[in-house]
Chains A and B, each alone.
Chain A
Amino acid sequence: MTKVIYLDNNATTQCVPAVVEAMLPYFAQKYGNASSMHNFGGENRHVIDQARHTVAQFINAQYDDEIIFTSCASESDDTAIFSAVRANRNKKHIITSAVEHPAVLEPFRYLQTQGYRVDYIGVDELGRFDMDQFKAVLDEDTALVSVMWANSETGTIFPIADIAKLAHEKGVLFHTDAVQAVGKIPVDVQAAGVDMLSLSAHKFHGPKGIGVLYVKRGTRFLPYLMGGHQEKHRRAGTENVPYIVGIAKAAELAQKRLADGTMDKVAALRDQLEQGILKSIPDVKVNGDPAHRVPNTTNISFGYIEGESILMYLNDFGICASSGSACTSGSLEPSHVLRAMKVPFQFAHGSIRFSLSDQTTQADIDLVLKELPPIIKRLREISPFSRMA
């Protein structure tokens, strides 16, 4: 098999060996149930407490018990949204953005069918949150505002602290899906003033199958998974000890990377890739807000050709990326994020997202910059629209 050049880290990341190693003892050896009345299981209680503390510190939660372990960020999102509306039954209005992950959009659409008024706040051409529209629709009847911290497709960062502040001025709960921010930029729940936050381990070199819902103390909360005392009755289900250990280890490593300048190096490689493409290939366009963007992501549209075709040629060189094109998803429309940004159709179908990580090397970037231009040229030769370019 060709060597893998993995530039799809917003989809998932490698669960790094150090994390796997930390998890391993908790499968076959220390497999006790953390809720048991014997030392063999009970000792795992302390392991979980320690992990909870590590994760709390990672996002600067004030109290460890504000961290609820879940099975994934989608569960965290669903839990936060349904808890907020059930705890505020007299309020019938909810707000999100037009560019959220489906884990937020789908519950909002469902609640819309249940009689909720829903506002999907739009974005401008750079993917920036429309603060004026938000201010105009926010009112005392709003039960919840849920707005993502960073966009998965473009990496654009929203002004979460400002949005949370406005929500709180109207007495409205604020939740953020921070899946694409955590591990890439410093996330501080106290400084941002969020009430609830979702994150997922597998986006920062942890295992798939575990997420966190942060719930600030004092927030009215109703569980989504019922039927157990675990997580202080807030999330039923036997504690997943190996994965909880895994997310804590991944958090510890991510915190180091944020502190030691690693993410700046990632940003430098990303910029090099982006500039290189802009220089060597005509009719390309960067999607997103370069001034407010997570360090690892670039989303580039190649005019007059289609994304899936580009990915399949890149695949020949082991280069992994993803596309917002209609054809890659099995749906027939290009990405809802790019459409919300009003990216013209001749560019929307040909968008490619490269998402780097601390594992990305100079050689990886050099290879992409070498192989990509001929691929684009070749596909444009086949395209009936290339003469328009």
Chain B
Amino acid sequence: MWDYTDKVMDHFKHPRNVGTIPNADGTGQVGSLVCGDALRLTIKVNKETDVIEDAKFETFGCASAIASSSILTEMIKGKTIAEASKITNQDIANALGSLPAEKMHCSVMGMEALEAAVQSYRQGGKPVIFEQEAEKIVCKCFNVSEEAIIKAIRTNHLTTVEDVTHFTKAGGACGQCKGEIQKILDKVNGACEVPQPATKTYEQMTLVEKIKAIESVLEEDIRPKLNMDGGSVELVDLSGNIVKVRLIGMCSGCAGAQGTLKNFIEKVLQDRLFKGLTVEQA
């Protein structure tokens, strides 16, 4: 059972402004039957003053989706288009008191429908379906773009993959994109908030740090390439500047193994870590 605020329950049980405005000046739509929630928002705008005179919604979804839609219509009525455009999902959630973390995506849906409706108004009233600007879709199950994830992280100060899922749904089904979401989180949060400690050069590292550094280069830059040919590589030992590895899978019997070792693995390790490294077959 969710801990819904009284305000959520009020707007769920007594939704305001249900329906569709005939000949609306703006129609925004987001979500689908597949996703499990959807919202259609229609607005009536005074063309002289740009003030939203009426707003109506229709929503398919849970209590918090219905409540978010209902309160959104109340929030935008009487505002100018410019004022309404500033409303964020956090504003919608605040207006409802709060929403359970797992339900924040309902408030995001409200914000997206509003964006679409405003765009529709500016384009002369033709209905607009909110779409993630599709340069890069991260979550294929729910069709969530990198941009939408970055926006959710920034607006709501998200720090974990779970948070991102609660707010955008990304990663909530098959989970395959969770690694990628983590990278986006690292990128957004790392860039602006967490100062990275000054990195040591390879030669300054302890033995354990050296081994970890080598392992991470193997994992990020080397194994993916070898995997494409059905092979892989294991770190066996590190003695002085000699890195001992074992080629496995298709690489182990490959005629080009020595070439792979020297021209590829050794070169990458030298480039990434330290010129003095040599790689040998264990």
Interface residues in chain A, defined as those with a beta carbon under 8 Å from any beta carbon in chain B? 304-309, 312, 325-328, 330-334, 345-346, 349, 381-385
Contacts and interface: CB of A to CB of B under 8 A. Distances in A.
Interface in B129-167: 141-142, 165
A34 to B, nearest CB: 38
A217 B169 CA distance: 49
Interface of B: 12, 15, 18, 29, 33-34, 36-40, 58-63, 65-66, 102-103, 141-142, 165, 169, 172-173
Contacts of A306: 36-37, 60-62, 65
A385 B173 contact: no
Contacts of B102: 330
Contacts of B142: 332
Contacts of B15: 382
Contacts of A307: 62
A308 B100 CA distance: 14
Contacts of B18: 381-382
B62 A325 contact: yes
Given A332-B165, A333-B172, A385 B34 contact: no
Contacts of B165: 332
A309 B12 contact: yes
Nearest to A346: B33
7 contacts: A305-B60, A306-B37, A325-B62, A331-B172, A333-B173, A349-B36, A385-B38
Contacts of A346: 33
Closest 7 CB pairs of A and B: A332-B172, A327-B62, A384-B58, A308-B62, A384-B40, A383-B60, A326-B36
Contacts of B60: 304-306, 349, 382-385
A309 B66 contact: yes
A358 B172 CA distance: 38
A332 to B, nearest CB: 3
Given A382-B15, A385-B60, 17 more contacts: A306-B65, A309-B62, A327-B36, A327-B65, A331-B172, A332-B36, A332-B169, A332-B172, A332-B173, A345-B33, A345-B36, A346-B33, A349-B60, A383-B58, A383-B60, A384-B60, A385-B33
A384 B61 CA distance: 10
Contacts of B40: 384
B250 to A, nearest CB: 19
Contacts of A334: 36
Contacts of A384: 29, 38-40, 58-60
A328 B2 CA distance: 8
A160 B59 CA distance: 43
A331 B40 CA distance: 24
Contacts of A385: 33, 38, 60
Nearest to A327: B62
B58 A382 contact: yes
